[in-house]
Structure 1
Amino acid sequence: MRRQRTTDVMQWRGLQEMLGELGTPPGYSFEQLAREDIPRTTELLHTWYPDICVGTESRHLEPAFYEREVFLRGESPDRPLYAVLSRSTETGDIIGLLTLEKNIRGLQISASMGAVEPSHRGLGLGQHGLTLLEVIGRSIGAEVALYYSTLKAARGQLNAERRGFLLVGIVPAFDMDAIAPGTVKRVYEALYAKVLAHPERVHIPDWNALIPSTRALFTHLFGPHPADLTARPERKLRHG
C-alpha cells in the first residue's frame, strides 16, 4: 500500500471552505490574511497589545514572520501557520487577528495568538477564536486541538471551558511576558486540549506504568482509569 506523503496531510485550504456553514458574529467578517495586509496588521498589533513586544508572540510584529511562516491568501499553502483577520462590517477596519499552527506529523493544531482591538473586546469576537480553532482543525484532519491561556485574566480560561476544552495542565515559566511597565518575567500559562479524534484512536495508558503522582493527576483530569479497581463504579473516564 502506498504511504501517504506528509505534504498531503492537514492541508490548509481557502477559509470559507474550511469554515463550511459556520457563521460569523454579527457585525464582523473573517478573511484569510493577504500579503498587502501585513504592514497594517503589524502596526495595529503594536497598539492593541503592547505586551506582545516580548516572548513567543513577539514574532507577530515582524513582517518577515508572515512572509516566511504563514499561508497568505493566493500563495503557497505549504506553510505551518494560517492567519485569520477579523474586520468590522460597518467600517471595513481590521479589528482582530488569530493565527493557527499545525503539526502535521502529530495531527495537532494550536492557536498561536489571538488579539482583538480593545474597544471590541468582550463583545463575543474573541470567544469565536476557539470555535475557529476547532472547526478549522476538524476540516484539515487534526486529531487534537491545543490552546494555551494566559493567567493574567479569566476570560480566556472561561472561553476554553465553555467550548469543551479540558484543562490538562498549568505550565510554569512557559513564556516571557510584561507583567508591569518595565518588568518582564517568565509566566505560568494554562494548557487546554480538545480531542477531535474518534475515541477508538486514543490509547489509554497502562495503569501499572503510572507512578502514584501521575495516577493521581490522571484521575483528577480524566476520571478513574478502567484498571483502577478502587474507583467508584459510577464514575466514567473522560477523554477530553
Structure 2
Amino acid sequence: MVVRMNSMSWRSLEEMLSGIVKPEGCSAEQLAREDIPRLTALLAAWYPDIRVGTESRHLDPAFYERDVYLRGESPDRSVYAFVCREISSGDIIGLLTVERNVRGLQLSAGLGVVEPTRRGMGIGFIGTAALEMVGRNIGAEVVLYYSTLKTARHQRNAESQGFKLVGLVPAFDVDAIAPGTVKRVYEALYAKVLVAPEQVHLPEWNVLTPSTRELYTHLFGAHPAAQSAEPPLGRELSHG
C-alpha cells in the first residue's frame, strides 16, 4: 500500500500566491479576525442572493470562527480566505475562499466575489488563476471549481485558465433566481489535474455502461482500450 505523506499544509500568503500578478492598485492578504464584521456586511450588500444556499455560510461569523484559517491563528482549519483590497483606500473589494481536502489531496473554490463596481479590473480572472496556483504550491493533485450558470463570466474565467468542464450537476445548490423565488439550480463542475498522466488510473472500459462510455468519450476522447474492448455492460452480445 502506498501511503501519501503530503499534508497539504497552508503556507505563507506569498508562497501560495507565488507567480500571481495582482491587478494594479490592488493587494492580497489573509483574512484577519477584525475584518469579519466588515466583510460579512459587504458580502450581504454586494450579493444579496448569497443569503440562500451553500455560499450563505460566508455571511455567518461562526463559519469564520469554526472553519477558516485566520491571520495569526490556527493553520489546521480547512478553509483559507484571501481578501483583495484597494491599496489607495484600504477598502475590501474582493474575496476568494479555498478549501482543502487533505485525504484526497484536493483543493476547491468556496466563494469568489468582487465588489460590483470593480468588475473589469481582472480580479475575478486572477482569482481563478490563484486557485490553481495555491493548489500547486500546497501539494494538491486536483483542483475543483463549481461555477454558477447565472452568467457566462465565471465559466469563461475557468475555461481561459485551462480548467476542464467535466459535468453539469442538476439541483446542486439553492439559489435566488428572481426576487422572492428560490429554486434548486444547475452548476457546472470544472477540474484541473495537477499530476502527470501516469499517476492517473483510467477507468476500465469493460466495466463502463453505455452511458458512461459515451460521456467519457465526449469529455476525454477515445479510451485506449475502446477498440478491443468487450461490449459494454447492458449490451451483451446474444448467442442465438
Q: Is TM (by shorter chain) over 0.5?
A: yes
Q: Which residue of 1 aligns with 2:43?
A: 45
CA distance, structure 2, for counterparts of residue 121 and residue 86 of structure 1: 13
Q: Deviations over 1:172-226 (max 9, x none)?
A: 0000000000100000000000001121210011110111110000000001001
TM-score between both structures, scaled by the size of structure 1:
0.92
Q: Which residue of 1 aligns with 2:199?
A: 201
How many residues end up aligned between the 2 structures? 228
Q: Which residue of 2 aligns with 1:177?
A: 175
CA distance, structure 2, for counterparts of residue 14 and residue 43 of structure 1: 27
Q: Which residue of 2 aligns with 1:151?
A: 149
2:210 maps to which of 212, 215, 218: 212
Shift of residue 121, structure 1, vs aligned partner: 1.3
CA distance, structure 1, for counterparts of residue 67 and residue 197 of structure 2: 32
Q: Which of structures 1 and 2 has the bigger CA Rg? A: 2
Identity of aligned residues (%): 67
- Runs of 4 or more above 3 Å deviation: none
1:113 maps to which of 104, 107, 111: 111
Tell me if structure 1 keeps the 8 A contact 2:20–2:129: no
Q: Which residue of 2 aligns with 1:31?
A: 29
Structure 1, unmatched stretches of 5+, are: 231-240
1:161 maps to which of 159, 162, 178: 159
CA distance, structure 1, for counterparts of residue 213 and residue 144 of structure 2: 22
CA distance, structure 1, for counterparts of residue 15 and residue 216 of structure 2: 37
Q: Which residue of 2 aligns with 1:234?
A: none
CA distance, structure 2, for counterparts of residue 21 and residue 55 of structure 1: 33
Q: Deviations over 1:2-31 (max 9, x none)?
A: x667xx600012111212232211121110
CA distance, structure 2, for counterparts of residue 83 and residue 92 of structure 1: 17
Shift of residue 64, structure 1, vs aligned partner: 1.0
RMSD, aligned α-carbons = 1.6
CA distance, structure 1, for counterparts of residue 43 and residue 51 of structure 2: 10
CA distance, structure 2, for counterparts of residue 155 and residue 79 of structure 1: 30
In structure 2, relative to structure 1, the CA distance for the partners of 1:97 and 1:216 (3 Å cut) is same
